């Protein structure tokens, strides 16, 4: 199973995914976890990925354009959600999303590829949830500063459902 994570803090992932069961699962090629710096898909010289909310409101949100280009660059269908490869799922981390459960971990482990978008600041341009993501997921009824911990929590829990990752299935 492959995970792609879009974040502006890719270094946060190396510690957690470089240890223990998840590390061994990658070495055994049961999992492939690719963490991408979203700034790679910014087009200005300062690699800016945030802007004032399109529809107004306080703070800054991630712009849709770098996320759109990132998904395109990762060869994920972005033009029409209905045409997206049925083996791929794009998740937007969001405090207002559906709360993640063990059933979601089992369900998502059936996909070959799961892409997780980690928000920051005041969140992510609303159009990402509307047009680019398949679902919005929260890991609990509280607000964190970013989607990186939620991405790690979900990847950890989904990975445990992949045969061979926890060692013994039972």
Q: Which residues bind ligand SAM (CB under 6 A)?
A: 93-96, 118-120, 122-124, 138-140, 142-147, 150
Minimum distance of ligand SAM from residue 92's CB (angstroms):
7
SS3 108: helix
Beta carbon of residue 113, minimum distance to ligand SAM (angstroms, whole number): 20
Nearest to ligand SAM of 24, 127 (CB atom): 127
* Cβ-proximal residue to ligand SAM, closest one: 119
Q: Which residue, 83 or 143, has its beta carbon nearer to ligand SAM?
A: 143
Residue 28 Cβ, how far from ligand SAM at the closest point, in Å?
29
Give the shortest CB-122-to-ligand SAM separation in angstroms.
Answer: 4
Q: Yes or no: say if 127 and 68 are a contact pair by the CB < 8 Å rule.
A: no
DSSP 8-state secondary structure symbol assigned to residue 79: S
Backbone angles phi, psi at 164, to 5 degrees: 95, -25
Q: Are 104 and 91 in contact (CB under 8 A)?
A: no
Mind giving me the DSSP string for 9-71? -TTHHHHHHTSHHHHHHHHTTS-EEEEEEGGGG--STT---EES-TT--SS-EE-HHHHHHHH
Nearer to ligand SAM among residue 59 and residue 164 (C-beta): 59
Query: Which CB sits closer to ligand SAM, 56 or 167?
Result: 56
């Amino acid at each position: 199973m492959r995970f792609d994570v879009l974040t502006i803090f890719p270094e946060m992932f190396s510690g957690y995914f470089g240890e223990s069961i998840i590390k061994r699962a990658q070495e055994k090629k049961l999992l492939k976890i690719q963490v991408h710096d979203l700034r790679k898909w910014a087009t200005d010289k300062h690699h800016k990925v945030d802007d004032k909310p399109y529809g107004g409101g306080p703070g800054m949100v991630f712009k849709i354009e770098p996320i759109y280009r990132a998904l395109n660059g990762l060869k994920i269908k972005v033009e029409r959600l209905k045409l997206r490869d049925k083996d791929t799922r794009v998740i937007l981390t969001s405090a207002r999303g559906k709360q993640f459960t063990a059933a979601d971990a089992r369900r998502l482990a059936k996909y070959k590829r799961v892409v997780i978008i980690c928000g920051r600041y005041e969140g992510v341009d609303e159009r990402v949830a509307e047009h680019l993501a398949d679902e919005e997921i929260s890991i609990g009824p509280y607000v964190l500063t970013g989607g990186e911990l939620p991405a790690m929590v979900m990847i950890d829990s989904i990975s445990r459902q992949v045969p061979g990752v926890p060692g013994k299935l039972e």
